[in-house]
Amino acid sequence: MMWAQRFLKQDRTLWIVYLLVAEVVSLQSLLQRVNAQGYTAYENYVIFKNSFAHLVQGLNPYTSFPAEQWDLFKYSPVFSVAMAPFSVLPDWAGLQFWNLANALPLLWAILRLPILEPRQRRFVAWFVLPELIISLQNSQSNGLTAAFILWAWVAIEAGKPVWSAGWAAAGGFLKIFGIFAAVPALIYPQWRVYVPAVALWSVLLVSAPLVVVSPEQLWQVYQWWLELLRSDHSASVGLSVMGWLQTWFGWEAPKVGVTAAGMVLFVAGTWAVYSRRAPGPDGLPPATDRILLWASLLLWVVIFNHKAESPTFIIALCGVALWYQSAAKPALWMKILLWTAFLLASVSPSDIFPRMVRTALVQPYVLKAVPCIAIWIILTVQLLRPPAKKQSLASDE
């Protein structure tokens, strides 16, 4: 029994488990038969890799291709270029590499999280693993998005603002809300380097597709992308604050207004943390505040995304775990809220959860999002109104 405990407490075990999970999920998807319409069980990956071929052929990557894929491509032209290596691989190889690219970088980021102790990092890695499986089963890019946000934090804490800016910009071109990793980075003394670095990285990434298309073509592709984003904004409310307001209270709140309100609160929390910097030009805000702020970001980008779906919550669950680990001795109510979030987010979509409860309550009332919304509200109050005597988590690293 002791050897099992030691085995589970090693980083090496997590690397093995994450690798095996990515491989098993990939094989499971590959072995499933295509449906009646001829689409695969890993259709998101097919959409991603097809986007590069459509781009270089001069086609509109954001239009419908029903003979090739079941849905629209909605990511940036830079994402299409990044999928170039996958476009030449057979699916049996490409899907495995894609899922590994969403699992292993996330684990690498978690195991290098600043401020937290090694045991706390391992807790985060084990806690988010079931949610990562949900994302991988949908061959989504959310694991990589979470990794980019966490890398931005790791780099800025290590005094590498240029690299942090690069990860934030890359996250923005992977999924637009990834760029908001630049907001909490502004509380650090290196913000004067960080701001121009974000701008430079953004220019480089915007221009990256020029390696395969002409400037005229690229301009047209960006116009097509913006048209898609405008039309997509009114499509749904998802597992979000907007979805919660609509299903619980019947209020179809304006998406722009709700998102703006959430942004104001997030920026206010960022300013509150910034105002609590230690004296001196190189002073940092308290360690606990910094953890809470990055946790707030990870939750915010999901619950205020009107298109948030179940696989997106790997990002939010990283925020939930960080919030819990920010307390030296989590109170009972924090433990209850933590495991409620885990139950409704990571367990409810599985066959372990009673199907009747899932279809009658969890899905109609967006219960997957509700604990995350509650935690974000609590987090925001903690940032805006810190307790008189803050608990010390760990010494800064």
Q: How far apart are CA 158 and CA 145, in angstroms?
A: 20
Say if CB 185 and CB 149 are below 8 A apart: no
58 or 386, greater pLDDT: 58
Q: What share of the chain is helix, strand, coil (3-state, %, to 5)?
A: 70, 0, 30
The predicted structure's pLDDT at residue 66: 93
Q: Given this model, what pLDDT does residue 349 score?
A: 85
- The reported pLDDT for the residue numbered 8 is 73
CA dihedral 356, 362, 364, 368 (to 10 degrees): -160
Q: How confident is the model at residue 388 (pLDDT cuts 50, 70, 90)?
A: low
pLDDT above 90 for 1: no
The pLDDT, as a whole number, for residue 392 is: 44
* Alpha carbons within 13 A on the beta-carbon side of 264: 6
Q: How far apart are CA 381 and CA 53, in angstroms?
A: 47
Instruction: Give me the mean pLDDT over the 303-326 stretch.
Output: 94
Q: Looking at per-residue confidence, does 343 or 394 come out higher?
A: 343
More confident residue, 283 or 148: 148
In tens, the pLDDT along 58-103 reads 999 999 999 999 999 999 999 999 999 999 999 999 999 999 999 9
pLDDT tens digits for 104-142? 999 999 999 999 999 999 999 999 999 999 999 999 999
If you average pLDDT over residues 225-230, what whole number do you get? 91
Q: Across the chain, what does the average pLDDT equal?
A: 92
Please state, in angstroms and rounded to a whole number, the distance separating the CA atoms of residues 388 and 349. Answer: 40
pLDDT of residue 3: 64
Q: How much is the pLDDT for 37?
A: 84
Does residue 380 carry a pLDDT above 90?
yes
- Res 237 pLDDT > 80: no
As a whole-number percent, the residues of the chain with pLDDT over 70 amount to 95
Taking 90 as the threshold, does the pLDDT of residue 4 lie above it? no
| Amino acid of residue 270 | T
Give the pLDDT mean for 368-386. Answer: 94
Q: Which helix (H) or strand (E) holds 360?
A: none
State the pLDDT confidence band at 356, using cuts at 50, 70 and 90.
Answer: confident
Q: How confident is the model at residue 281 (pLDDT cuts 50, 70, 90)?
A: confident
- pTM (2 d.p.): 0.94
pLDDT at position 396 over 70? no
Region 295-319: mean pLDDT is 94
| Residue 397 scores a pLDDT above 50 | no
Query: What is the pLDDT, as a whole number, of residue 231?
Result: 82
Rounded average pLDDT over 33-60: 94
CB 239 within 8 A of CB 367: no
pLDDT digit string (tens) for 165-223? 999 999 999 988 999 999 999 999 999 999 999 999 999 999 999 999 999 999 999 99
pLDDT of residue 375 exceeding 80: yes
Contact 306, 233 (CB under 8 A): yes
At 123, list the tokens. Answer: 């807790």
| Eight-class DSSP state of 390 | P
